[in-house]
Structure 1
Amino acid sequence: MTDLPHQTLDPVPRPLDHICEFGRADDPALAVKTGTLTYGELRTRIATMAGWLAERYTPGTRVASWAAKGELTCVLPLAAARAGLVHVPINPLLKRAQVAHILSDSGAALLVATNSRRSSLNAIDVPAGCTVMDEGEAIACAAEAGARLPISKHDPDDLAAILYTSGSTGRPKGVMLSHANMWLGAVSVAHYLSMDRDDRTLAVLPLSFDYGQSQLFCTWIAGGCVYPLDYLFPQDVTKACARHQITTLAGVPPLWRQLVAVDWTEKASQSLRRITNSGGALTRELVSELRQKLPKTRIYPMYGLTEAFRSTFLDPAKVAEKPTSMGQAIPFAEILVVANDGKAAGTGQEGELVHCGPLVAKGYWQDAERTAARFKSAPEWSEYGGTAVYSGDTVLRDADGDLHFMGRDDAMIKSAGNRISPQEIEEAALATGVVSDAAAFGMVDPDLGQAVHLAVVGNQSDEERLRRELSRELPNFMMPAQYHWYARFPVNANGKLDRTALEQEKLAARTPE
């Protein structure tokens, strides 16, 4: 067995489906409810699913999945990549309106979903030419077809996945990721986490996110085993850590707040080598609580954006000293801080985080305008050059070279690790017919990072009806935590909604005198 790519930090990208080729055939690779697959069995499942897909669809066809964690959602990303198709994972928490948009926008020819999710879709939600199939049926059809596709020789620059993420305005937009983006991302993460063949990763994050997919890919490229878990209570996570002797756990701040509030048995914590955080900054208090609960576990604060997979991580040795820092660039990433004048920001000077290098995505699917706004030529002093992604996030670099998040320029709401479009919530509220105007915004929340607040023009006696109607159209993480009722909204000199005044008014109302 040769060295694993992450051990030598091999910078040469490969087709994504090669990721499972490094595990020993008899070693466990994937533990799902139906049983544990060895690497030999996982490779067979990927080859069989890829063979079935290749017989049905031409290269470049989009195939979507909308299901809980299981064999299908773990195998399909690599099987589709091997068949030359483009995987479109859909967050299982989304509801029919968001799913209908993603299916239409991506032009998916296949949707594999659980029966309960299939039944929630109306006929008009599924585009013409898109086949909807139950996940069990898809697995059975692939097994019955029996064709096995060998490992691919695709160009690593080929499109392999479209991940949909909310923008600050409008419907979710599809971020285009190549084989190289995801391959080098897996190599990079597995390298700085020092992962090995005996690692066991508890995958609690949705597989529809880049951070969630990373749970699979960086574990498999290291030859370890993944244990997918859809949990209801935080105790489910600690029990799974004990049962499977988990070594690696990725999460977001709301999950860590839940986990520090429950008991960790010695059996649950003794094997946990590392925890990683993204989707929101850790606080000093939360880091302190995590270190008390898990004193032998290394904490990796990280920062990433779907448009560039992952950008930075903080060395665990610095966490006690700099608990809120984002750290420095991960392998294969170049992170620049660009001041308002377009020049490199100096130490302690705020600027926009700009990510350069091979982890930068290929842009937004069928959206040249938004691609041009976010993906632009790298600054002239960049070592990588080429196309860079301009994050919209304001950061500063300290004297040690570590980055600190200062704020975000757009109106994006970041709640419980989710990026939420205010406009999407507003459109859903207006579509109910209960209110005549709506404005969504985020308010600082100790558990969620930001909580969704919705200001509306209408009759407050209709609030229960509004809640009920929104619950049918929005996933739980988009539901407003609080509603604010107005006879009319404040406007600016141009007669347009004054969002700043609206948010400042709510902030002042929450601030004790």
Structure 2
Amino acid sequence: MTSLDSEPQPIDHLCREGTADAIALEGRFGTLSYAELDAAVGRLAAWLAQTVPQTGGRVASWMGKTRLACLMPLACARAGLVHVPVNPLLKHMQVAHILADSGARLLTGTKSRLDTLEAGNVPQGCDLAAEGEGEAAIDGWRDFLPPSSAGPDELAAILYTSGSTGRPKGVMLSHANLWLGAVSVAHYLRLSPQDRTLCLLPLSFDYGQNQLLSTWAAGGCAVPLDYLTPRDVMKAASKYDITTLAGVPPLWVQLTEHPWPPETAARLKRLTNSGGALTRPLVKRLQDMFPQADIYPMYGLTEAFRSTYLDPSLVSSHPDSMGKAIPFAEILVVRPDGSLTVDDEPGELVHAGPLVAKGYWQDAERTAERFRPAPPASLYGGIAVWSGDMVRRDAEGLLYFVGRDDAMIKSAGNRISPTEIEEVAVQSSDIVEAVALGTPDERLGAAIALLLRQRGDIEQGQAEHMLKEHLKAQLPNFMQPKYIRFVEGFPRNPNGKIDRVKLAQEFRP
């Protein structure tokens, strides 16, 4: 595995990190060894360079977890192009915005997706290529490009946020951002060449793309999977001898609602979580179902990739913690004036260091809002990401999420973290998922609404009574919800997270 002390390399060099004959990629399309992966990337890069001859040209890809989708991040980099992965769940209007905003010169995708594009969706100067053209290049393009010599600060990718709070904005990532992120995760997860990662998350998601990159940084095997049901995940984990799973909380909830074959569950060595906190009951279910697996709660944001992780040895004793900074990250908790907070004092999480992205693509105003000079106490200095997330650090140096400053519920003069209410709610019998929202109220300013999904074992009236008694015992009066609603399910954004903005828009007292 690459040393933490080594200099960042062009991201396409990852296909040379494993032993030549070791399997690097496996799926329904077959297998690719590391030598075959390097050759395939070289051929695809040559095709891309001929198709888009402008150095730094943006190339968008819109497809599921196919062989081509997995090779695009490396091949674009090798061709001197900038990769713009598009979530396959997005619709034509969202794709049109990304193409126009990024100035993409090429969009490659499945024919069925390309056929949904309407007049005006594809900007002038952007060509379309069906997925089959890229696959044909992988298998037999006449030319081959050697590994690139790109500098660490050169732009390698633009990842668009899900856009749940407005139009997606493109986060610019350099070769160093991607390389160091892959090396960092491979180290703290203790990945090895014997590990096999089932890649479930969208490859357009920084967490999803890192499933590939960190596995390759360790010389292991990545197994991409487009799945419909939790049973599809279980079958693939068994078929491909999976050791590593990455997910977001809603996915873990779904996976723990079904019994796993004991031999498949026992083979898993690590479970990683980001995109939201794991609740105590969910942690307990994961520990019971996967007794041999280490659990890695993590926190990150696209603007700096990943910030913290909790060591598995602390999960049972500190299940609510975000942990400490990952390698290459400096995490500070600061007051509005930029000074450091004291133990257990809430403050804004600020991330400094080489994982900080290069800003938002062609958006100087929003870049200046989020990417600002690091606090005076920073050892790295330079530009840092001011996350907008409120956290606290305890006397042991462990971080705890309080809530997003713009998501805090301001009720009767109190600033209330929805996360705190949700974590208490799911400790009540029969409650699987919970979302707390602030809804306008003349007397309180904002009243608390609590939306819940239950297992269905208890009648809703009884479940609500039990929940209210539980909340009264655990939370102060000003944190008690005014409204409680049971729902069949929660809307998800394209990255699989609960879409809180949509819920807030649709909720009616």
TM-score, length-scaled by structure 2: 0.81
Q: CA deviation at 1:245?
A: 1.3
Deviates more, 1:358-367 or 1:135-144: 135-144
Residue by residue, what CA displacement relative to the aligned partner does 1:34-89 show, whole Å, maximum 9, x if unpaired? 21111111111100011111223221000000000011100010000011100000
Structure 2: distance between partners of 1:408 and 1:193: 27
Q: CA deviation at 1:24?
A: 1.1
1:352–1:83 Cα change, 3 Å: same
Structure 2: distance between partners of 1:301 and 1:144: 42
- Which residue of the partner structure matches residue 339 of structure 2? 343
Structure 1 SS opposite 2:386: strand
- Which residue of the partner structure matches residue 10 of structure 2? 15
1:189–1:141 Cα change, 3 Å: closer
Structure 1 SS opposite 2:242: coil
1:168–1:380 Cα change, 3 Å: farther
Q: CA deviation at 1:291?
A: 0.7
Matched residue type, 2:211: Q
1:110–1:273 Cα change, 3 Å: same
1:368–1:447 Cα change, 3 Å: farther
- Which residue of the partner structure matches residue 51 of structure 2? 56
- Which residue of the partner structure matches residue 36 of structure 2? 41
Structure 1: distance between partners of 2:385 and 2:79: 29
Structure 1: distance between partners of 2:503 and 2:187: 43
Matched-pair contact (CA < 8 Å) for 2:11–2:178: yes
Structure 1: distance between partners of 2:99 and 2:498: 21
Structure 2: distance between partners of 1:63 and 1:248: 30
Structure 1: distance between partners of 2:196 and 2:65: 16
- 1:384 is aligned to 2:380: yes
Deviates more, 1:95-104 or 1:234-243: 234-243
- 1:95 is aligned to 2:81: no
- Which residue of the partner structure matches residue 126 of structure 2? 130
Structure 2: distance between partners of 1:25 and 1:228: 20
Query: Equivalent of 2:110, from 110, 114, 118?
Result: 114
- Which residue of the partner structure matches residue 250 of structure 1? 246
Structure 2 SS opposite 1:76: helix
Q: Please list, as runs of the form range in 1=range in 2, the aligned pairs for 1:244-393 lying within 5 A after superposition.
A: 244-393=240-389
Matched residue type, 2:200: V
1:152–1:260 Cα change, 3 Å: same
Q: CA deviation at 1:483?
A: 8.9
- 1:190 is aligned to 2:161: no
Q: CA deviation at 1:194?
A: 0.5
Matched residue type, 1:39: Y
- Which residue of the partner structure matches residue 201 of structure 1? 197
Residue by residue, what CA displacement relative to the aligned partner does 1:156-194 show, whole Å, maximum 9, x if unpaired? 110000000045753100000000000000000000001
Structure 1 SS opposite 2:336: coil
Matched residue type, 1:216: L
Q: CA deviation at 1:209?
A: 0.6
Residue by residue, what CA displacement relative to the aligned partner does 1:244-298 show, whole Å, maximum 9, x if unpaired? 1111100000011111111111221121100000000000111011111111110
Matched residue type, 1:12: E
Q: Please list, as runs of the form range in 1=range in 2, the aligned pairs for 1:450-469 lying within 5 A after superposition.
A: none
- Which residue of the partner structure matches residue 171 of structure 1? 167
Matched residue type, 1:406: V
Structure 2: distance between partners of 1:392 and 1:246: 36
1:400–1:476 Cα change, 3 Å: closer
Query: Equivalent of 1:153, from 121, 124, 149?
Result: 149
Structure 2 SS opposite 1:344: coil
Structure 2: distance between partners of 1:318 and 1:25: 37
- Give me the identity figure in percent: 58
Structure 1 SS opposite 2:148: coil
Query: Equivalent of 2:226, from 223, 230, 239?
Result: 230
Question: Which runs of 5 or more residues in structure 2 are unaligned?
Answer: 409-417, 423-447, 455-490
Aligned-CA RMSD value: 2.8
Q: CA deviation at 1:484?
A: 7.5
- Which residue of the partner structure matches residue 26 of structure 1? 21
Structure 2 SS opposite 1:306: coil
Query: Equivalent of 1:395, from 366, 388, 391?
Result: 391
Structure 2: distance between partners of 1:285 and 1:385: 39
Structure 2: distance between partners of 1:142 and 1:21: 17
Structure 2: distance between partners of 1:484 and 1:165: 20
Structure 1: distance between partners of 2:169 and 2:179: 22
Structure 1: distance between partners of 2:228 and 2:322: 29
Matched-pair contact (CA < 8 Å) for 1:23–1:220: yes
Matched-pair contact (CA < 8 Å) for 2:41–2:138: no
Question: Which runs of 5 or more residues in structure 1 are unaligned?
Answer: 416-441, 449-469, 486-502
Matched-pair contact (CA < 8 Å) for 2:339–2:376: no
Structure 2 SS opposite 1:177: strand
Matched residue type, 2:240: H
Matched-pair contact (CA < 8 Å) for 2:344–2:394: yes
Matched residue type, 2:391: V
Structure 1: distance between partners of 2:27 and 2:281: 35
Structure 1: distance between partners of 2:94 and 2:450: 26
Matched residue type, 2:405: D
Q: Please list, as runs of the form range in 1=range in 2, the aligned pairs for 1:388-427 lying within 5 A after superposition.
A: 388-410=384-406
Structure 2: distance between partners of 1:204 and 1:11: 29
Matched residue type, 2:51: R
Structure 1: distance between partners of 2:58 and 2:100: 11
Matched-pair contact (CA < 8 Å) for 1:11–1:184: no
Deviates more, 1:368-377 or 1:56-65: 56-65
Structure 1: distance between partners of 2:163 and 2:498: 15
Query: Equivalent of 1:82, from 78, 85, 88?
Result: 78
Number of equivalent positions: 437
1:115–1:303 Cα change, 3 Å: same
Matched-pair contact (CA < 8 Å) for 1:51–1:142: no
Q: CA deviation at 1:480?
A: 8.5
